[in-house]
Structure 1
């Protein structure tokens, strides 16, 4: 049974369906979408990611929501929350993040959904501060962070990436709730 968590003017943020997995695997294997990630994901890796998303929902009641367009019912990616605990000074914490199919870029969907998520996080008292971060070259994602009212905190080296990796340096943004 679907759970709708958040609705916006154009979008529904809901629980994941089995039918989302094939489209999500396409998104995760798309070189354009995954440009600022270490590598595109295989079908098995993508399905494992969905399993982890669903486990986090079960554990915390929050997570990365499946996003669909209200008008068409089309699944386009995710926007939502992820609890992180990797080795950086600002950890552990809650991240707000997004991954949208490139077919739907430049339409304001990530911003619209993220703004609604922030309001939801405030209402549900998810945490006191949300973080978002991305590799330095990912200007599009950084622009979403700015549009949703987050403040630049500084740079950090992502511990999951090898020294010298072109994506190792990340920009950190935060928002007090």
Structure 2
């Protein structure tokens, strides 16, 4: 199965490749101030389309990326979740990160956790990654709370080089999960 056709199934959702018809819903999600409150700014349609193009290029190049998330019982995307190479230098790179973003109507329903667990299983299973990292702002309690529920461990903070010195969102928390710890947690019945 090619990377562009990978579909990963979960109990309520699937992670799947992006389709052209996803662009409008993706742009609406990326323009929503509530969804984007922990990002420097909401995205215009043009920037959202460019992001989808970069995501698709990453999937084609690496064989994995941030997939579209869709419920089994309803067509259309509800968010994104997946794995991607960190494209900049920091004390922990090179690295593969896990990330998620969900439309406001689909938050606080367990979809992010289900999608993240599916993505981790794919990363440590078929992709045989040795480690996956995640990062977020200290103020994003829901995001780093999910990182901890996933078994990720805090590893201090860092200055995000994509943001200028002095930017209020430059400081990020770093979390890590090794393949060994993920396997041990699964064997332990988690």
Q: TM-score, normalised by structure 1?
A: 0.95
- Show the counterpart of 2:63: 61
Q: What CA RMSD, in Å, does the superposition of the two structures yield over aligned residues?
A: 1.2
The whole-number CA distance in structure 2 between the counterparts of 1:133 and 1:125 is 21
The whole-number CA distance in structure 2 between the counterparts of 1:84 and 1:126 is 17
Aligned residues: 176
The whole-number CA distance in structure 1 between the counterparts of 2:59 and 2:127 is 16
- Show the counterpart of 1:84: 86
- Show the counterpart of 2:186: none
Task: Mark the runs of 5 or more structure 2 residues left unpaired by the alignment.
Answer: 180-190
Higher strand fraction: Structure 1 or Structure 2? Answer: 1
Contact 1:11-1:113 at 8 Å conserved across structures: yes
The whole-number CA distance in structure 2 between the counterparts of 1:133 and 1:39 is 17
> Among 26, 41, 47, which residue is 1:39 paired with?
41
The whole-number CA distance in structure 1 between the counterparts of 2:19 and 2:76 is 12
**CA drift at 1:13:** 0.7
Deviations 1:89-115 (A, max 9, x none): 101110000011011110010100111
- Show the counterpart of 1:170: 172
**CA drift at 1:3:** 2.8
Q: Please say if 1:132 is aligned against 2:148.
A: no
- Show the counterpart of 2:184: none
- Show the counterpart of 1:146: 148
Higher helix fraction: Structure 1 or Structure 2? Answer: 2
Q: TM-score, normalised by structure 2?
A: 0.89
